[in-house]
Amino acid sequence: MKAHRIMLVSILFLVLVVGAGLLSGIFLREAWRKNLLAKWVIVGAIRLKALVPVPSATRLFREHILDPIPKSVTELEADRAQEVFGWGYVFHFKINREDLSLILNARPFRRVYNVMYGGGYLDFEYDSRSSRSMIVYDSAEKAPTWFTPKRLFGLEGYEFHEEKYHQLYTWVVLYNAELGEAYVLAFNGDA
């Protein structure tokens, strides 16, 4: 039922945006010329996405990280992160080293180094010659209070990504063995 309501709201939003543009030919010409209509649709999609409730952390963990959930996982939290044309979730939980290996063995993760978070971006290096930067929370989004990755800098990081059907799937695992605490970022977007 919620899915139907969400779809109806999405269609209604698009009809309103396009309808407003069609009512004014001058506006439509200017919007296309300045690419404003595309910007409105993208901003509207982001705002509409924010209205859709985030599924339970348990369900998201099973869908995007591992099913079944390892026994030592506690204090599981999840949030929808920045991703306009796909999905993005940030997870935070307590886990022991043994169960962390279950997550790391679920995909061919590789070790990453010099992990840093700032300005909404997560940066890391594969080695001294290659690195990557990915947006987690943009300036318009507010990260949840439990999202404190600065506590994990300099600790263990792992990454896996693959491209399927012009979509880039990315998983990043950050682990603090001393605290038994992990973050997992699971993202999908245009490649």
Report the C-alpha gap between 137 and 115 in whole angstroms: 16
What pLDDT, on a 0 to 100 scale, did the predictor assign at position 4? 47
133 in Cβ contact with 123 (< 8 Å): yes
Q: How many CB atoms lie within 10 A of CB 3?
A: 8
> pLDDT tens for residues 147-162?
887 666 667 999 999 9
Report the C-alpha gap between 92 and 74 in whole angstroms: 9
Tell me the average pLDDT across 9-37: 52
Structure tokens at 15: 């009809």
User: Higher-confidence residue: 135 or 52?
Assistant: 135
Q: What angle do CA 50, 52, 56 make, to 5 degrees?
A: 110
By DSSP bridging, strand 87-94 and strand 156-164 are: unpaired
What pLDDT, on a 0 to 100 scale, did the predictor assign at position 117? 86
What pLDDT, on a 0 to 100 scale, did the predictor assign at position 166? 86
> Has residue 44 got a pLDDT over 90?
no
How does the average pLDDT of the chain come out, rounded?
80
Spell out the domain ranges in the chain.
2-51, 57-190
Q: How many CB atoms lie within 10 A of CB 4?
A: 8
> Has residue 7 got a pLDDT over 90?
no
User: Higher-confidence residue: 180 or 32?
Assistant: 180
